Amino acid sequence: MPMKKIVIIDYGVGNLLSVQKGLEYAGASPIISSDSQEILEADGVILPGVGAFIDAMKKIEPMRDVIREYVNSGKPMLGICLGQQILMSQSDEGGLTEGLDIVPGRVVRFPHTDLKVPHIGWNSINIIQGHPFFEGVPDNSYVYFVHSYYVDTDTTHTLASCKYGIEFAASVINDAKNVIGTQFHPEKSGDIGLKMLKNFVGMC
Amino acid sequence: MLTKRIIPCLDVTLDESGGTVVKGVEFVDLIKAGDPVELAKRYNLQGADELVFLDITASHEGRSTMVDVIERTASEVFIPLTVGGGINSVEDVRQILRAGADKVTINTAAVKNPQLIKEASDIFGSQCIVTAIDCRRNTNIDNNQDKTILTLEDGTPAWYEVVIYGGREPTGIDAVQWAKKVEELGCGEIMLTSMDRDGTYDGFDIPITLALSEALEIPIIASGGVGNPQHMYEGFVNGKADAALAASIFHFGEYTVGDTKEYLRKKGIPVRL
């Protein structure tokens, strides 16, 4: 069987190596690209993400139609951290900003309480809906988070939740079930995260 | 529930042949004693929550070998990696993140040029910028009314002075005020080292750890002084730290990360096991 071709969309700065190595480990052949043709021909697409929402949207805006076309093809896409947030309808970060609107919902900041923000570290997730992405992942698994904003959506679009003062969407899904988002970093969540990446490659 | 993080720290330097080694490692059973990548893999297997690499050569050669160490580690170890030591510019940050690090720590360069924290966090995001603050107790409070006066364990009043260049140079800057400033500038975490405790095995410096934990909204990584798992417990409970960093107790093979976490779990501290 030929190796799955997975495109990691390059739209910013930061560490893309870990996602790339994680996918290689999961048996795929990932490339980092922002080329329309590469994206449309991919078996799977990753929307990575570190940085600020507005900057990310500015860079992703020219690719909006291509991403939309890819998603409509029914092939799988995974948005990680900020990559999950830009899947949503809109974000409060840095003033109200429109997202890709692939999953309905809104990105909001953690309220000011005694809890530290950013939410950094390993927290447990509750799996709310079965999905191939979470196959073999036990409920209450620990995964690595680092974020100050979270996704607020309905339970229909929530695959897994996490508690940090409030309960938020640790993982989201679109209506067609081919676009997944994770607020945590599977590529930084040890063996359990690699399992999810393997599951994702299996979906491609 | 969010767990408390246990972070082994690897001080990376060069040996005579220019190879990378971790300072102070005394495992007997390691094939290549002190190899940073092998150590990183070992600590990952033991259940480390993150790893910190500090480039203590602070030289040009040190930097390029560090990039190689990070690339090799990030290819095999899938937990967060933080890199510090000699990071002076946005370009340095970019190079280190591109090599596969998730965060960088900035220390002396931030004191010299606080705007570096703002620039770097604007470009790369707050989540990857950690300010490392080294400080030392200063009991001269008479001429320092503008400082944050804390009470030491024996009741003595003192303020904590930021020190740079590995503790060699005092700055006259108040550590609590400095931490608040870098938080405003956009850094996402503080790595706090008390030079009074570093290398002592007497435990974390609780007064300054608690003061920063309570004054700031961002998480505090306590560092310097850990001699046993009980000290970690005290750092979390008495110092309200979010994460605990240690080097020697793990490098000497005296305690594993797993032993430490098991101890903490029994004492009611949430840890990832």
pLDDT of residue A181 exceeding 50, the answer is yes
Average pLDDT (B141-165) is 95
For residue B186, the SS3 value is coil
What residues pair up with A46 in beta bridges, in sequence order?
A: A8, A78
Domain residue ranges in chain B: 5-266
A135 is catalytic: no
Residue range B181-226, pLDDT digits in tens: 999 999 999 999 999 999 889 999 999 999 999 999 999 999 999 9
pLDDT of residue A122 exceeding 60, the answer is yes
pLDDT for the residue A13:
65
Which positions ≥6 away from A18 have C-beta within 8 Å? A185, A187, A188, B74, B78, B100, B102
B159 in Cβ contact with B151 (< 8 Å): no
pLDDT for the residue B31:
45
Identify from A122, A123, A124, A162 which residue to disrupt to test chain B contact, counting B C-beta atoms within 10 A and taking the largest count: A122
pLDDT for the residue A93:
82
CATH tag for A5-203 (out of 3.40.50.880, 3.40.1670.10, 3.40.190.10, 3.40.50.10860): 3.40.50.880
Q: Which one of B1, B71, B217 has the shortest CB-CB distance to A123?
A: B1
Residue range A60-100, pLDDT digits in tens: 999 999 999 999 999 999 999 999 999 999 998 877 889 99
B35 is catalytic: no
**Of the listed B35, B49, B55, B134, which one is catalytic?**
B134
Predicted ipTM beyond 0.85: yes
pTM: 0.95
Closest CA to B218 of B117, B149, B150, B135: B117
Count of CB atoms within 10 A of residue A178's CB? 18
Quote the CA–CA distance of B231 and B233 in Å, as a whole number: 5
Chain A partners within 8 Å of B243 (Cβ): 121
Q: Which one of A21, A50, A191 has the shortest CB-CB distance to B127?
A: A50
pLDDT of residue B159 exceeding 90, the answer is yes
| Subunit contact B127:A25, Cβ cutoff 8 A | no
pLDDT for the residue A28:
93
A187 is catalytic: yes
| Subunit contact A14:B124, Cβ cutoff 8 A | yes
H/E element holding A197?
Answer: helix A190-203
| Subunit contact B188:A120, Cβ cutoff 8 A | yes
Q: What is the DSSP letter of A188?
A: G
Average pLDDT (B48-64) is 84
**Of the listed A69, A81, A162, A204, which one is catalytic?**
A81
Higher-confidence position of B26 and B187:
B187
Domain residue ranges in chain A: 5-203
CATH tag for B5-266 (out of 3.20.20.70, 3.30.1020.10, 1.10.287.1770, 3.40.50.410): 3.20.20.70
